[in-house]
Each structure stands twice: as C-alpha cells, then as structure tokens.
Structure 1
C-alpha cells in the first residue's frame, strides 16, 4: 500500500534544507487548502472494499508538511452522511508534542500514518440500501477542507440522479441543471476534488461495460465542473481485491444486455433495444452484441425480404443531435447485418428520426415510453 515516500516528498522540500516547507508547491492560500482533507466514501455492498488510491498518499504527505494537516472520513448512508470517527491528525509530532520538521524523520514516520488511514478506510461500511455520492459531496463542502477525495463507484441510486430510474442515455447538462434547480448541486468553489473507483462494482451489481464507465466518469467530471471546483480529476483507485465490508443488500442498476427478439415469417417489425446495443451517447456497437446481430442477419436472409431501418431516441438533448445519433446507430446496425451475411441490396433505407416520431405503446407510462423509443426499428418489407 505504501508508495515511494521520498519521491512524494521531493516536491515539498527545498534543496538540502533541514526544514520542509510547501513554498515549492504553492502560496499560503494553497498551503491552507492542502492542509485539510475530506475523504467521502459510499461503501455499499455493491462496491468492493475501498481500495487506497495512490493519490491519497501524496495528498496526505503534502498535508503533513503544512504542520496543521487533518483528515475527516465521511460515509454516505443513503441520504444520511456520517463521520467515521474523529478527524485524523496529519501532523507529525515529536515526543515533546512539538511539530516535526525534519524531512528524514517525517519520511520515516509517514508509513505508519498512511497505514492507519488505510486500515480505517478498509473497515468502512455504509450498510445502506442505496448509494448517494451526491449527499456525500454536499456534506463534504460543509467541512473546512480544501481537498475532497470521493471513493465511490459513482453509481448513484438515490434522488434525482438515480441511475436505476433514468437509465444511461441522458444528457449530463440537462440532469445537472435539474440538480442545480433542486438545490442538490454541491458548491465546490475553491476546492480540489478527486474521484477514485468510478465504475468499480461488486456484489449483486452487474459489471459495467467500458462505455458505461466512461459515461459515469464524464457525468461526475461535468458535475464537478458545474460546481465550480478548482480542480476535478479521476484518479487510479488502486487494486480492489477484497469484498465489501457492507452486508446490507443495495439497490441494483440494470446493465442492459442484448437479446434477439423472437420473430417469425409473419413478423413485420423488429425493435432492437439501442440501450443494449450501444454505449451511452455512442453509435459504436458493444462487442457482445455482434454474435446476436450475425444471427439476425442469417434469419433475415432466410426470409428473403428487404428491410428498412429507423433509429429512434427518447426525448433527450437537442433535436438535431438526437437525429444524428439515431441515424448513426441505425447505420451501425445496417453495417453489422451486412457483415453478418445480409446482402446490402436487401437494405432499402437507413434513417434516424431522433424523437421526431415518438413511438407510443398502448397504456405506456413515462418509463415504458422512454424504453420503447430507445430503439432501432427494422421494418420487414413484404
């Protein structure tokens, strides 16, 4: 767990001076910001045990150099956020109680401090049925700290940003605006925010494909920027090999998996779920769907009929952008069918309508309507 302390100290030492300062790493305001850290973790049963990010070593080391450093660990338990014990004193002291300023002595004693922090983090368990990183960030800004380290999968399942409810094909800007209007966007002004563990899941939560991990990262980076943070960064979360300390079952976010719809010679229309075919905001087919599309190409070939493909999206984002995305997705499906053996002459038209032509299933509620329009429709021409 412990990294190369001497290399970390290099940025905060001045030549061969006996006294370490932070003047090489910033002015007095930056030193005050560097001194106090908040680590907020969600620690549900659907996340691996919190792995100690390498970036935290560096942050703790720099805080120790200020002679006034402290760290508060918070855990989000659904919408409630609790402190995990008393704040950790990051000041290295001599036996007399005076602040240690000998760089060599600090380097010798830092590993014990880092191990103490790592041990405390590894035992954190939210035992909550939902994950609420937003609540954790909002509570973090109420603490007197200039640096926030968020250790979480980021798979929010509470409040307005519940991924289980809104799905994956949403506009970051639109959802962040809803949070702002609802008073839930954290004010991160003057703070640095580091995210570790985004997209890393465990327990009953299905693993996320890479495009969904990228979507998570982009959302939290955009939210951090919208909160006016001085710095927003996704950092390596380290190796997470231990199961979660939390034992309470937590809410699952569905990860769409593509299954070929049943159809026969009498079928006139096939609806392909685009949320299972593509990553969020993407027209690149997920690797796991190619085999199913190859099967579909063979079955369409056996019918001997021509087909028309139309891409749809649910009502999200600018209309022109929705048309472009739906067109690209329909074309990607068409190209995959040709690669799978369907003769290109059998594809009459490929178009995308975004949300201009809403699909309205009978008696459908908002969620069913949204799902029905996350689709590439194949019309079989008789």
Structure 2
C-alpha cells in the first residue's frame, strides 16, 4: 500500500470511528443530512458498502443527498434495533481496494446521546469521502462493485452503493472496446455471466448514483448513451441477485481531482448521420438499433427521427432509390443470420414507407455476418464478445439512383 493509500485508510478508520467516542450535533465534513428524491428501494438496517473513488474523468467524490439519507436510515435504525452495522468504503480505480471500514456502535443511555453518536459517525463518513484518491491508473468499476457486494454478505440484508460514472476501462467490462456502450444489456450481462464476472449482490439493496456523469477530458455522454449505461448497470445488479435496484438521478458535476492517476477517456460514437444521396450506416444503438434477436426497434420514435430526413429525400423524386443491406453478428447458423439481417433491413424499409417513401424506391437484402468489414466477435470458446458483436449489427444504406 502506498503512503497516500495508507493515510487515506487510516483517516477513514479514524473518522468512521468517531461515532463510537464523539458527541455533538455536527453535520460538517460534507455530510449535509440527506435530501433529494427518496430512493425507490427500502434501505435495510444492515451492513452498507459504498464504492466511490477520487479518480480521473469524473467529478470529485461526494455522496448525493439520497445516499446520505440511506446512511442516516441505517444508523438511526441500528440504534432502534440494537444492531451494529458495518460500513465499508471501496476505492474505485484500476485495482479497487477497501479503503476503510468500521462498525457503528453506541452505548448511549438516552435518545439525545444516541443522536449525538449518530451525528458524529455520519460526520466522520462525510469527512472521509472527499479524501479518497485513486492509486492505480484506469477504472475497474465492476471490480469495485464486486468488493462492495462481498462486504455486505452476512446474516442481515445490506446496502451496496455505487457512486461512479460507470465508464469502466478494465476487462472484462472495458468501454474502450468499440460497440460495448451500444450493446444490448442482455448480451453484456450474458457475457459477464459466462465469464463468471458478475458480482455477488444476493439479497442486497443496490443504489446507483452518478452513472454517466463525467468530467474532462472524458467527453460528455448524450441522453441516450447515459440511459444505456444506467440500464446496463441496473441489469448487472439485477442479474447478480440484488433484491432491489435504485437509481439516483441527482447529477454529479464539477472537475475531476487533479492529483489522481490517469484514466483513458472512452471514445463515444457520434449519433448516426443520414446524408441523403450518400452511403450511410445505421448502427446498432439506441436510436436505430433492434431488440436482441428480433427486428423490433429499441426505440421507434428515435428511429423515426433518424430516418425522416432520408424519407423526405426519397419523397422529393420518384427516381431516387436506395438499397438496404442488413448485417449481423456471427451467432447461430449462416441461414439464421441472413434471415435476421434481412428482417431488420425490411423493418427499416417499413419505417421509411411509413414516413412517406414509396416501396418501389427501396430494395432490401440480408447478408448475415459475411460482409466486408466484419469484426471478429468470437472470444475464447466461441463466446460472443458484446462490443464487436454490436459493431457488426447494422443496416447499410446505399443510393442506387
């Protein structure tokens, strides 16, 4: 452990331990006493683990109001139920670690003294969080969630809090891999399950905060990209056995810590641009992508928005024609790939016709995974890689007249 890491761990242990020996009604140290919209999940009176980091590419560490309120619920309930919940803080960086932990205890003989102990403990927690700093380059958010999940397993249900942008840059969940951010949640979850990389969150309440909130030099996510990222982390938590998953919408903002090791920025794909009269590609994303193994658009309204300019272009002249070519990932038989990619090209045609284009202006074909530019989407043992697989799923638009 580096000297700074040792210092942070020591400060966490000291600050968290204040609840056992201090009194007063202070709420300093970055703990304002909660606030914000209430969580959509019940918070059990049991162990709580908070995975958070002072790392590059996202705002400095702090606890959103609903997360503070969850901690208050645990501590106040502990006094009422005479239990001693353990609080653990996990540092999110390229090699996540437990930065500190302590058990909340009180021997107060009356309600006022018990409240003093609660305030002191929570003040210590609030003071400790801003001191966190990453020790290792990159960000293993999945690994941090795994450590947090292990920290709350026991006889009483616990709460796992993840306060992070969610843009992990360490395998097996490395968003630097092209196509991963747009991949269907089910595909990515299946990939993690097949690789035994899902965390253990059995019976826990999971709180996700700050997902998609970034700081320079990481480019900002648009609304659809953030929604995809939130859906993925929620899907991971549910597949890992969480009893309930709450998403905190309170935004995190501000600059990243200046004294943290680097994290490689994740390149974000630009929104698809349909240029009438020019070859274009409709990628497998939230705007014009399809539900897994179907020809159903993920978001029909978004797809209409993308395709409307091209439909308008076709409507301007009956002589204008296009060819739609569907492609797919390499899954199943060649025949099934061709059939699925054909149906997806037909779905695009159907939407263009619905927008006013003439059916005889559009031809369709499907080629499955046999096309120029195919990216290998098969990992060890033939397991599908969600990022490359998403890249291979598209509909190519070519003007033919």
Partner SS, residue 230 of structure 2: helix
1:87 aligns with 2:106: no
Structure 1 residue 163 corresponds to structure 2 residue 175: yes
Match of 1:270 in 2: 279
In 2, Cα distance between the equivalents of 1:186 and 1:369? 23
TM-score by length of 2: 0.68
Q: Is the 8 A contact 2:145 2:199 kept in 1?
A: yes
The SS at the match of 1:66 is helix
Where 2:232 maps in the other structure, the secondary structure is helix
Counterpart residue number, 2:58: 47
In the alignment, the residues of structure 1 paired with residue 288 and residue 124 of structure 2 have an alpha-carbon distance, to the nearest angstrom, of 40
Give the equivalent residue in structure 1 for 2:89: 73
Q: Which is worse superposed, 210-219 or 276-285?
A: 276-285
Instruction: Give the deviation of 1:46 after TM superposition.
Output: 1.5
Q: Is the 8 A contact 1:361 1:372 kept in 2?
A: no
Q: Alpha carbon RMSD of aligned pairs, Å? A: 4.0
- Among candidates 201, 206, 209, match of residue 219 of structure 2: 206
1:2 correspondence with 2:2: no
SS of aligned partner of 2:169: coil
Aligned partner (choices 296, 316, 320) of residue 305 of structure 1: 320
Report SS of the residue matched to 1:72: strand
Q: Give the corresponding residue for 1:223.
A: 236
Answer whether contact 2:152 2:159 (CA < 8 A) is retained.
no
CA apart distance, 1:275: 4.6
Query: Which structure 2 segments of 5+ residues have no match?
Result: 1-30, 291-297, 378-386
Cα gap change, 1:3 to 1:141, in 2 (>3 Å): closer
Kindly tell me: are residues 57 and 244 of structure 1, through their superposed partners in 2, closer, same or farther at Cα, counting changes over 3 Å? same
Q: 2:34·2:65 contact (CA, 8 Å) conserved in 1?
A: no
Residues 242 and 331 of structure 1, relative CA distance in 2, 3 Å threshold:
same
Question: How do residues 235-246 of structure 1 correspond to structure 2 at under 5 angstroms?
Answer: 235-236=248-249, 238-245=250-257
Secondary structure of the 2:129 match is helix
SS state of the match for residue 361, structure 2? strand
- For the residue of structure 1 that corresponds to 2:192, the secondary structure is helix
- Give the length in aligned residue pairs: 335
8 Å CA contact retained: 1:206, 1:255: yes
